[in-house]
Amino acid sequence: MKADLHVHTTMSDGSDTFEEVLVQARERGVARIAFTNHDTTRGLDGAAALGARYGVQVTGGIEVSAYDFQRNRKVHVLGLGLREDAPALAALCGPLLERRNANSLWQLDRMVKAGLPVDVERALALGRASTCLYKQHLMAALTSEPYPSAAYRTLYRSLFKNGGICDRDIAYVDVRDAVRAIAEDGGLPVLAHPGQQDSYDLVPELVPLGLAGIEQHHPDHTPADHARCVQLAERYALACTGGSDYHGRFGSIPHVGFRVPQA
């Protein structure tokens, strides 16, 4: 059975709806999908009902945008096995979504004032269909270049990185609070793509707080990352998970189930 336990939709910064993802999963033989939108569980109950219609098992999830304040770096934490009603996560992530939305509106205003040809109404419409406005929505309203293209990457970096006019970040939640909130809401906290964010050294610190898994299979992981995940999983009795980190047109991963092994 192929299971993709890391998928994003329009409820955060993905381009596809829950239903569009499930249709694709059925066509590609992916038997289980975990919807792990950033900082929200909104829509999970309806997604589970849709999954039953399409013959795809749906696992409720989240990907919390967190921060390790001791090491000054971003860390993502997946939560698996969640329901839409997740009060601890709502309390933790609600203010984060508000900060992200306000920052994205500021970035949109900067684009307009700089005279960039951004379609403001389209950007705002994409944000309304989500839980907040994301940079991906701003880029979709600014350029028709596909995400993987050099032109898209160059434009993105010039705006959002290295002192560009939209280069401003937000305050994230503490990674330890993220693990606790997921566990409090009955989910399984999983350290997301540790090879991408070099967060392996957090594992022994997060296990006592409830860390239950580590994302072994991810498109950014190398064979060395796979081996290190297995080593840590065996040492700390963690589950190894895998997912594509699919974002539709707003990401580089071509399809659901990409590089996810058969279970």
The three state secondary structure string of 228-245 is HHHHHHHHHCCEEEECCC
Which pLDDT score is estimated for 54? 98
* CA distances in angstroms from 195 to 25, 37, 113, 211, 229, listed in the order given: 26, 20, 38, 17, 9
56: which residues sit within 8 A by CB, 6+ positions away? 22, 25, 26, 30, 31, 32, 33
d(CA 48, CA 64): 20
What single DSSP character describes residue 38? Answer: B
Query: pLDDT digit string (tens) for 164-183?
Result: 999 999 999 999 999 999 99
DSSP assignments along 202-217, one per residue: GHHHHGGGT--EEEEE
d(CA 177, CA 26): 35
Domains of the chain are: 3-65+73-83+187-250 (3.20.20.140)
Helix (H, G, I), strand (E, B) or coil at 190: strand
Which pLDDT score is estimated for 140? 98
Place of tokens 């596809």: 16
Query: pLDDT digit string (tens) for 210-252?
Result: 999 999 999 999 999 999 999 999 999 999 999 999 999 999 9
Which pLDDT score is estimated for 261? 83
Q: What mean pLDDT is predicted for residues 17-37?
A: 98
Which pLDDT score is estimated for 235? 99
Torsion-angle region of 99 (φ positive above 0: left; ψ -120 to 50: alpha; else: beta): alpha
Pairing of strands 213-217, 239-242: parallel
CA of residue 54 relative to chain centroid, distance: 23
Q: Which helix (H) or strand (E) holds 226?
A: helix 223-236
Q: Which of 35, 32, 69, 43 is nearest to 245 (CA)?
A: 35
CA angle 3, 241, 247 (to 5 degrees): 65
Which pLDDT score is estimated for 45? 97
Q: What mean pLDDT is predicted for residues 53-65?
A: 98
pLDDT at 1 > cutoff 90:
no
Q: What mean pLDDT is predicted for residues 110-131?
A: 98
Q: What mean pLDDT is predicted for residues 50-57?
A: 98
